[in-house]
A and B are shown apart, each in its own frame.
Chain A
Amino acid sequence: MSGVSVTKAADDAAPAADDLVVLSNVNKHFGALHVLQDIDLTIARGEVVVVIGPSGSGKSTLCRTINRLETIDSGAIAIDGKPLPQEGKELARLRADVGMVFQSFNLFAHKTVLENVTLGQIKVRKADKAAAEKKGRELLDRVGVGSQADKYPAQLSGGQQQRVAIARALAMDPKVMLFDEPTSALDPEMINEVLEAMQQLARDGMTMVVVTHEMGFARSAANRVVFMADGKIVEQATPDQFFSNPRSDRAKDFLSKILHH
């Protein structure tokens, strides 16, 4: 795994032209709460960025602004050089290129597992049904839930559902995958199966933004750790630097609380 990290780290030095997601000076309020404050964040193609921080630090909101599930008050967000458009057809097209995995899975409850992974291909990408099903089954196999294809989401365990959700997002051939606390709603014994699927994805070179509390995943799969607190990015570093030698007091405090028990 460390070998992977080394090669990945080399990508960090890639030229700015290969920036896939760029947030500049992003601000957002929830009423009086200034939940995102002057956020600048650039994610290069193929990079795995893990966002950590205490609850309420704005990390989930940050993740959701990237495909405009949350609107921003000021600043700019661009994906692959294109600024995020207003709600409408163009935004829908752009969202198809940005995979999203939610904390609560959000599989379509009235559709089978296979339908969940083919619906977007057929209705958004206009793929034909046979091709979509072939690709859907391959992706389900890849995340280890191929045998569940004809069941409904409610018949699956949380870990299986989340892996289907990953396959559903991958079926759109996204340029970047967003993970909004993908393991926070899972029973402890199911966390690993989801993390393994994500690690596989990271090894395959997918660009990923992962909001998580899984420090093990951050250590092993991330190229960069972004630490947020109170709506600001407090610190960014490689996992090794961040976990062994955090610079800010806020990060030191956070790490001492989560690592010492």
Chain B
Amino acid sequence: MNVLLDHLPEFRDGFIGTVLLTAASALLAMVLGLVMAGFRVSPVPPLRFFGTAWVTLFRNTPLTLLFLVAWFVVPAVFGTGMSPWTKALLALGFYTSAFVCEAVRSGVSTVPLGQAEAARSLGMTFFQTLRLIVLPQATRTVVPPLSSIFIALTKNSAIAGAFSVTELFGVQKLLSDKGFAIAPIFLWVALAYLVITFTISGLFRLLERRLEVAR
């Protein structure tokens, strides 16, 4: 108990760090994932190829390896201006986008083909068809897997702690290095993660219910 109360500022900073990093990476992953899903179902072969390559690369690379690339390869290629937080954001966002892309794509394939044919027959472009007709109808099937993906993202963000980004898991290292008993620290860190992941699953359950009511 004392560990938590005595180091509330550290825990608080770690908690906020994890929430912010998770939220920012989730946003980046969502945008990239949607774009890549659009590429993967597009009628243009080079775009399809790019989307497939993106998913293959980022889904099959261990996240820690992506962090190492962000830390040591990215600065060598793009210069050294990036903060550790930004590098962590990129590694987490790119990695998670591959999973978002596949969840969205599986949702797209549940929408009957006739919906897209009707939209194209009205003269809508491919992207209008996707945005106005297909994706809104895919949402309901995409929401449950997205919830799991973002919970995984929350826990994956712990790797950033090992790369000296201020977040929850780093608090554990900080305090155990100072010689505090490990078990209570772990307990509090684990509970803090639970708060975040429960919030995510709660929000998504609400969203699911909203989408059920609509129509």
Contact-size category for A: 20 to 34
A96 on the B face (CB < 8 A): yes
Q: Quick one: given A120-B124, A123-B132, are A108 and B117 in contact (CB under 8 Å)? A: no
B122 touching A124, Cβ below 8 Å = yes
Per-residue interface assignment for chain B, residues 114 to 142, with 1 indicating a CB less than 8 Å from any chain A CB and 0 otherwise = 11011111111110100011001100000
In the complex, which residues 194-215 of chain B have their Cβ closer than 8 Å to any Cβ of chain A? 214-215
A65 on the B face (CB < 8 A): no
Specify which chain B residues have a CB less than 8 angstroms from the CB of A94 in the assembled complex: 123
Contact-size category for B: 20 to 34
B43 on the A face (CB < 8 A): yes
Specify which chain B residues have a CB less than 8 angstroms from the CB of A104 in the assembled complex: 114
A122 to chain B, nearest CB (A): 10
Q: Kindly state the separation between the CA atoms of A67 and B122 in the bound complex, as whole angstroms.
A: 10
Q: Kindly state the separation between the CA atoms of A100 and B118 in the bound complex, as whole angstroms.
A: 8
Specify which chain A residues have a CB less than 8 angstroms from the CB of B43 in the assembled complex: 87
A119 touching B121, Cβ below 8 Å = no
Q: Kindly state the separation between the CA atoms of A87 and B124 in the bound complex, as whole angstroms.
A: 11
A95 touching B117, Cβ below 8 Å = no
Q: Quick one: given A110-B215, A123-B128, are A100 and B121 in contact (CB under 8 Å)? A: yes
Checking B112, B120, B122, B126 against A168 with a beta-carbon cut-off of 8 angstroms, the contacting residue is B122
Q: Which of B112, B125, B137 has the most CB of A within 10 A?
A: B125
Q: Quick one: given A123-B128, A152-B215, are A106 and B123 in contact (CB under 8 Å)? A: no
A98 on the B face (CB < 8 A): yes
A93 on the B face (CB < 8 A): yes
Q: Quick one: given A109-B137, A110-B136, are A69 and B122 in contact (CB under 8 Å)? A: no
Q: Which of B43, B120, B126 has the most CB of A within 10 A?
A: B120
Secondary structure dominating the interface of B: helix
Specify which chain B residues have a CB less than 8 angstroms from the CB of A14 in the assembled complex: none
Q: Quick one: given A119-B132, A152-B215, are A106 and B122 in contact (CB under 8 Å)? A: no
A95 touching B115, Cβ below 8 Å = no
Per-residue interface assignment for chain B, residues 70 to 114, with 1 indicating a CB less than 8 Å from any chain A CB and 0 otherwise = 000000000000000000000000000000000000000000101
Q: Kindly state the separation between the CA atoms of A78 and B115 in the bound complex, as whole angstroms.
A: 25
Specify which chain A residues have a CB less than 8 angstroms from the CB of B119 in the assembled complex: 108
Q: Kindly state the separation between the CA atoms of A124 and B125 in the bound complex, as whole angstroms.
A: 9
Per-residue interface assignment for chain A, residues 167 to 191, with 1 indicating a CB less than 8 Å from any chain B CB and 0 otherwise = 0110010000000000000000000
Checking A69, A109, A110, A152 against B121 with a beta-carbon cut-off of 8 angstroms, the contacting residue is A69
Q: Kindly state the separation between the CA atoms of A4 and B138 in the bound complex, as whole angstroms.
A: 46
Specify which chain A residues have a CB less than 8 angstroms from the CB of B132 in the assembled complex: 119, 123
A172 touching B137, Cβ below 8 Å = no
A107 on the B face (CB < 8 A): yes
Checking B118, B124, B137 against A110 with a beta-carbon cut-off of 8 angstroms, the contacting residue is B137
Q: Which of B118, B119, B128 has the most CB of A within 10 A?
A: B118
A261 to chain B, nearest CB (A): 31
A102 touching B122, Cβ below 8 Å = no
Checking A89, A97, A98, A102 against B118 with a beta-carbon cut-off of 8 angstroms, the contacting residue is A102
A16 on the B face (CB < 8 A): no
A92 touching B125, Cβ below 8 Å = yes
Q: Quick one: given A89-B125, A119-B132, are A69 and B120 in contact (CB under 8 Å)? A: yes
In the complex, which residues 142-201 of chain A have their Cβ closer than 8 Å to any Cβ of chain B? 152, 154, 165, 168-169, 172
Q: Which of A92, A152, A169 has the most CB of B within 10 A?
A: A92
If A93-B123, A102-B118, A108-B119 are given as contacts, then 11 extra A-B residue pairs at C-beta distance below 8 Å, sorted by A number, are A87-B43, A88-B125, A92-B125, A94-B123, A96-B122, A98-B121, A106-B117, A110-B137, A119-B132, A154-B215, A168-B122
Q: Which 3 A-B pairs have the closest CB atoms?
A: A96-B123, A120-B122, A106-B114
Would you give 8 A-B contacts (Cβ < 8 Å), ordered by A?
A106-B112, A108-B119, A109-B215, A110-B214, A120-B124, A123-B124, A124-B122, A154-B215
